[in-house]
């Protein structure tokens, strides 16, 4: 039965990886894989001789001696435990996504466009790279990419030049997401899973992540694509609310407040996110009732907002397919963890892989394993890779292994256009060709990834 479960997981994983070829949204195989894995566990429960008790974080070798009822009770408890842990992540993401949509409802991100005052291509490159690095740490790398590529489309009219900027934005956004607990789904998983703390995550990863962004941007500054100045066309003034800037700063501040709330109260992060959402929603409702101060507030805008409060409208814009995908993949990985399959696999890795590379300072897992995880995240989704690592490795909180995994999984995806959520959304927005990105941008992302990894290997010895 274990072989059947592993086969279902492998087939589901393959379908997720081939999402673009199969033309099937990855949430579909993720949900089917999750349901089938747990169904097979339920059918074959009596044949299993070991079980990983996630509550106690221990492998039960005596599971085979349990009665059918005892096994069923433990399976139900384990399933509920994993659903609770997964729900913490999903509710957190729902709150963050809603705040971002509320900011967008008031056209708050148009404020960022005013930061660009130059026509010099290199200066604009650095402005967008730094903005992507900072924004992605606050509102996550996917949203930061959408916001900045949208602004880019209004500033850079030459598509051939814009593609280069979009490529560097992807690298910078993924680098920025790696050092923040709210910047990337994988770092959020590690943070909520009590593998890393905010202070140590920033301390370990800020410099490596900054170098991962800065080195590719520096090299790109000397490339022909960024020589000279842009022919900037003055676009028409955007329809804006008088509360645009206020809602931008309020929303970003509310998201940044979440890690502070967690440190002060020691409550799970989703509690702080719900508080932040509530506060932002109050101001959104008040400002919405004050109406918009717009010179042109006619058909299109009024139709979009007329019958909805800002909160209802923003909730309708949430990326629910992404939420369901995370539910499916995390619960499917939990099934493998519960049977002890990931635990056994990790043991074999620890025995065989250290001879292939430098060992971590306090861990038996070699650097080469974590670097391969980073390269792997460029080919397949980094969420299941990190979810698997949570079940495979059992180092204590803030062990450097977890920080290196956060860096590798977060930044490694930049090496292919399909390797990260930021890359996929930019690919869709700009119709970026897979092989164009592979030829023009991948090598820059690889250099940044390696330089950042080397910086991490050095700086971890200082802690």
Q: What is the pLDDT of residues 193-246, one digit of tens each?
A: 888 988 889 989 999 999 999 999 999 999 988 888 776 555 445 556 678 888
pLDDT score of 441 more than 50: yes
Q: CA-CA distance, 421 to 381, in Å (whole number)?
A: 9
DSSP 9-74: HHHHHHHHHTHHHHT--THHHHHHHHHHHHHHHHHTGGG---EEETTTTEEEGGGGGS-HHHHHHH
Over residues 245-270, the mean pLDDT reads 86
* Model confidence pLDDT, tens digit, residues 274-309: 999 999 999 998 888 755 443 444 434 444 454 568
Closest CA to 320 of 116, 11, 31, 33: 31
- 115 or 173, which is more confident? 173
How much is the pLDDT for 282?
92
H-helix or E-strand containing 394? none
Which residues fall within 8 angstroms of residue 322, CB to CB, at 6 or more apart? 27, 93, 421
How much is the pLDDT for 96?
82
pLDDT score of 147 more than 50: yes
Which residues fall within 8 angstroms of residue 218, CB to CB, at 6 or more apart? none
* Model confidence pLDDT, tens digit, residues 384-402: 678 777 767 778 888 888 9
In DSSP terms, 53 is beta-bridged to 58
Instruction: Place 61 in a pLDDT band, splitting at 50, 70 and 90.
Output: confident
How much is the pLDDT for 293?
42
How much is the pLDDT for 176?
93
Structure tokens at 143: 């949203």
Contact 269, 258 (CB under 8 A): yes
When the pLDDT of each residue in the chain is averaged and rounded to a whole number, the result is: 81
Q: CA-CA distance, 420 to 402, in Å (whole number)?
A: 19
Q: CA-CA distance, 205 to 183, in Å (whole number)?
A: 12
How much is the pLDDT for 239?
56
Instruction: Place 454 in a pLDDT band, splitting at 50, 70 and 90.
Output: very high
Q: CA-CA distance, 417 to 421, in Å (whole number)?
A: 9
Contact 412, 374 (CB under 8 A): yes
Give the rounded percent of residues in the chain with a pLDDT score beyond 90.
20
How much is the pLDDT for 356?
41
Structure tokens at 321: 């397919």
Bin 51: left if φ > 0, else alpha if -120 < ψ < 50, else beta: beta
How much is the pLDDT for 126?
92
Name the CA dihedral angle for 162, 168, 169, 171, rounded to a multiple of 10 degrees. Answer: 150
Bin 91: left if φ > 0, else alpha if -120 < ψ < 50, else beta: alpha
Name the CA dihedral angle for 162, 165, 166, 171, rounded to a multiple of 10 degrees. Answer: 170
Choice among 79-83, 157-161, 271-275, 364-368 with the minimum mean pLDDT: 364-368
pLDDT score of 154 more than 60: yes
- 214 or 348, which is more confident? 214
Contact 165, 230 (CB under 8 A): no
pLDDT score of 403 more than 60: yes
Highest mean pLDDT among 34-43, 86-95, 190-199, 260-269: 34-43
Q: CA-CA distance, 341 to 358, in Å (whole number)?
A: 26
């Amino acid at each position: 039965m274990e072989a059947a479960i592993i086969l279902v997981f492998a087939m589901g994983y393959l379908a997720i990886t081939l999402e673009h070829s199969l033309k099937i949204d990855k949430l579909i195989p993720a949900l089917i894989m999750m349901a089938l894995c747990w169904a097979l566990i339920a059918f074959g429960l009596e044949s299993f001789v070991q079980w990983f008790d996630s509550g106690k974080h221990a492998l039960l070798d005596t599971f085979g001696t349990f009665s059918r009822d005892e096994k069923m009770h433990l399976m139900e408890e384990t399933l509920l435990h994993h659903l609770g842990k997964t729900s913490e992540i999903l509710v957190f993401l729902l709150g963050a996504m809603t705040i971002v949509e509320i900011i967008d409802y008031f056209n708050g991100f148009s404020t960022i466009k005013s930061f660009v005052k130059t026509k010099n291509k290199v200066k604009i490159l650095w402005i967008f790279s730094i903005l992507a690095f900072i924004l992605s740490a606050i509102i996550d790398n996917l949203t930061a990419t959408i916001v900045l590529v949208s602004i880019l489309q209004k500033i850079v009219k030459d598509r051939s030049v814009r593609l280069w900027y979009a490529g560097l934005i992807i690298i910078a956004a993924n680098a920025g997401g790696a050092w923040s607990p709210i910047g990337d789904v994988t770092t959020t998983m590690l943070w909520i899973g009590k593998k890393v703390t905010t202070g140590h995550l920033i301390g370990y990863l800020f410099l490596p992540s900054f170098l991962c962004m800065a080195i590719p941007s520096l090299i790109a500054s000397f490339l022909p694509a960024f020589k000279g100045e842009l022919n900037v066309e003055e676009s028409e003034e955007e329809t804006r609310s008088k509360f645009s800037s206020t809602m931008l700063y309020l929303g970003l501040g509310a998201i940044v407040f979440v890690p502070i709330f967690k440190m002060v109260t020691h409550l799970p992060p989703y509690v702080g996110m719900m508080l932040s959402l509530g506060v932002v929603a109050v101001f959104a409702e008040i400002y919405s009732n004050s109406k918009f101060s717009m010179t042109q507030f006619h058909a299109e805008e009024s139709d979009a907002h007329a019958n909805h409060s800002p909160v209802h409208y923003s909730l309708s814009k949430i990326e629910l397919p992404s939420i369901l995908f995370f539910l499916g993949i995390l619960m499917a990985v939990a099934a493998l963890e519960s049977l002890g399959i990931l635990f056994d696999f990790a043991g074999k890795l620890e025995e065989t892989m250290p001879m292939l590379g430098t060992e971590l300072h306090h861990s038996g897992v070699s650097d080469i394993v974590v670097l391969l995880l980073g390269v792997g995240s460029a080919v397949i989704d980094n969420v299941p890779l990190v979810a698997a690592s949570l079940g495979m490795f059992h180092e204590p909180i803030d062990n450097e292994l977890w920080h290196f995994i956060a860096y590798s999984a977060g930044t490694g995806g930049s090496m292919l256009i399909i390797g990260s959520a930021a890359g996929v959304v930019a690919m869709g927005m700009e119709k970026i060709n897979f092989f164009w990105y592979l030829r023009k941008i991948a090598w820059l992302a690889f250099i940044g990834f390696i330089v950042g990894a080397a910086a991490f290997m050095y700086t971890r010895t200082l802690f």
